[in-house]
């Protein structure tokens, strides 16, 4: 990173096929609950907030935090709605701080929109892995962008096979909940939890996620 203007990791989330979902009021309420919960666990510069239509936006001080937020949001919304995410790394212009999350512009947001459009375009052309939901774009990260995107593609493809219980278990593990407590929540044995997270790749996902957070994509 250079010593120029501060860069941020912006996140734009877009609910998938939400217009065809029944009970849109309940959907929007659940999205708000999830965004609030994730903001408690992943502190951001600007908390993830619903904006217009099916989108929400958040702002983070590092790419690692943005990647973690997108993971937690998708896990908690499993069974309610899937989400596409565009992550952008760049500088930010704030036109009116009192109007957040509106009245913003700048490379961070342009890059996030480009990343979101990349996923949508690839999926329309059936040129993308079916589970791909998250991408990053940036004019300043250079060669790190394809490396992060490679991780995100694999992460999302693995998560695509998760059912709601898998998602709840992984979300719990991210919060530090023990396998025994997760078993009690789910009404199963601790052995059943251990077998499930070994079989479905949860351990691999947790470990790779921790490694990616330790990388140097921070201000």
**pLDDT tens for the 219 residues of the chain, in order:** 445 688 999 999 999 866 555 577 888 889 999 999 999 999 889 999 988 878 999 999 999 999 999 999 999 999 888 899 999 999 988 766 666 666 778 999 999 999 999 998 887 877 778 889 999 999 888 888 998 999 999 999 999 999 999 999 999 999 999 999 999 999 999 999 999 999 999 999 999 888 887 665 554
Does the residue 185 lie in any domain?
no
Q: Is residue 179 part of a domain?
A: no
Side-chain-facing half-sphere of 123: CA atoms under 13 Å: 15
Residue 189 lies in a domain: no
CB 82 within 8 A of CB 118: no
Q: How many domains does the chain have?
A: 1
Is residue 75 in a domain?
yes
Residue-level pLDDT at 1: 41
Tell me the C-alpha distance between 11 and 113, whole Å.
9
For the chain, what is the total number of helices (H) and then of strands (E)? 8, 7
Beta strands in 31-148 (DSSP E): 46-50, 55-60, 83-90, 93-94, 104-105, 134-138
Domain membership flag for residue 186: no
In a domain, 99, yes or no: yes
* C-alpha distances out from residue 138 to 62, 69, 110, 174, 207, Å: 13, 18, 9, 27, 25
What per-residue confidence (pLDDT) applies to 3? 59
Residue 180 in any domain: the answer is no
Burial (CB count within 10 angstroms: exposed 0-12, middle 13-18, buried 19+), residue 208: middle
Encoded tokens for 115: 């990343």
Which CATH number belongs to the domain containing residue 77 in this structure? 3.30.70.270
Q: How far is it, in rounded angstroms, from Cα 150 to Cα 141?
A: 14
What domain range is 90 assigned to? 8-162+200-213
Is residue 178 in a domain? no
């Amino acid at each position: 990173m250079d010593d120029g203007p501060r860069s941020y990791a912006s996140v734009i989330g877009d609910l998938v096929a939400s217009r065809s979902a029944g009970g849109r009021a309940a959907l929007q309420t659940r999205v708000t609950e999830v965004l609030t919960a994730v903001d408690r666990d992943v502190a951001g510069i600007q908390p993830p907030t619903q904006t217009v239509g099916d989108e929400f936006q958040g702002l983070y001080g590092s790419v690692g935090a943005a990647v973690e937020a997108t993971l937690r949001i998708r896990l908690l919304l499993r069974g309610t709605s899937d989400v596409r995410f565009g992550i952008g790394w760049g500088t930010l212009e704030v036109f009116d701080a009192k109007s957040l999350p509106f009245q913003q512009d700048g490379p961070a947001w342009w890059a996030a929109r480009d990343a979101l459009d990349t996923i949508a375009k690839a999926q329309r052309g059936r040129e993308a892995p079916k589970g791909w939901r998250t991408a990053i774009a940036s004019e300043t990260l250079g060669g790190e962008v394809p490396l992060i995107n490679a991780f995100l593609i694999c992460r999302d493809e693995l998560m695509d096979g998760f059912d709601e219980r898998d998602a709840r278990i992984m979300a719990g593990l991210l919060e530090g909940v023990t396998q025994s407590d997760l078993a009690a929540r789910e009404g199963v044995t601790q052995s059943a939890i251990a077998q499930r997270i070994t079989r479905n790749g949860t351990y691999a996902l947790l470990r790779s996620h921790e490694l990616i957070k330790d990388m140097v994509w921070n201000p």
